[in-house]
Amino acid sequence: MAHQRTLPQSKEALLKSYTTRLKDDVKSMLENFEEIVKLAKADSETQLSKMSQSELDTFEMHVRAANIVRAGESLMKLVSDIKQYLILNDFPSVNEAITQNSKLFRTKQVECDQKLMSLRDDMAADLYDLEEEYYTSNYKQ
C-alpha cells in the first residue's frame, strides 16, 4: 500500500492521516509476521512435493519479510514526517526560543557595554596620568 503525499486541509485531517498510516503499517507488520509463523508449521497434507512446497514457503517468507521491512520503512518515514511537521509548525516553542535568545543576547550586550565603559574610563584615567607625568617630567623638551 503506497502512501500518497497529499496536503490535508487541517491539523485534524493531518493527525487522522498520521494515525491511519500508523495503524496500517503496524497491521501489515503483524499480519505478515503471523503468516510467516504459520508457514513455519509443518503441513503434512499437501499435493505438492516436499521440495516444491519448501521452495514455495521460502519464497512466501521472503515476500512477507520484504513486506515487514517496507512497513518498517514506512513507519520511519512517518516518524520523519511528524518530526518535520513539529519543527516547522511549532511556532510557540520557536517564538519562545527566539525570545530567550534575544534576552540572553541583550544581557550579554549590557555586560559587554559595561566592561567597555569601565575599560574606557580606566584608559582615560591612565592616559591622563601619563600625560600629566609626561608634561611635568624633565625629559620633555
Last residue of a domain, one of 89, 117, 132: 89
Average pLDDT value for residue range 35-62:
82
Distance CA 65, CA 37 (A): 11
**How far is 80 from 75, CA to CA, in rounded Å?**
9
Q: What is the pLDDT of residue 7?
A: 47
pTM exceeding the 0.85 threshold for the entire prediction: no
| 137 within a domain of the structure (yes/no) | yes
Residue 139 DSSP one-character state: T
Confidence (pLDDT) at 96? 84
* 56/84 same-domain check: yes
Domain around 96: 91-141
Q: Are residues 77 and 14 in the same domain?
A: yes
Q: Which amino acid is at 86?
A: L
- Give the span between the Cα atoms of 80 and 85, in whole angstroms: 9
Task: Tell me the pLDDT tens digit for each residue of 99-125.
Answer: 999 999 999 999 999 999 999 999 999
- Is 78 found in the same domain as 137? no
User: Does residue 18 share a domain with residue 70?
Assistant: yes
Asked if residue 47 and residue 16 are part of one domain, the reply reads: yes
**Total tally of structural domains belonging to the chain:** 2
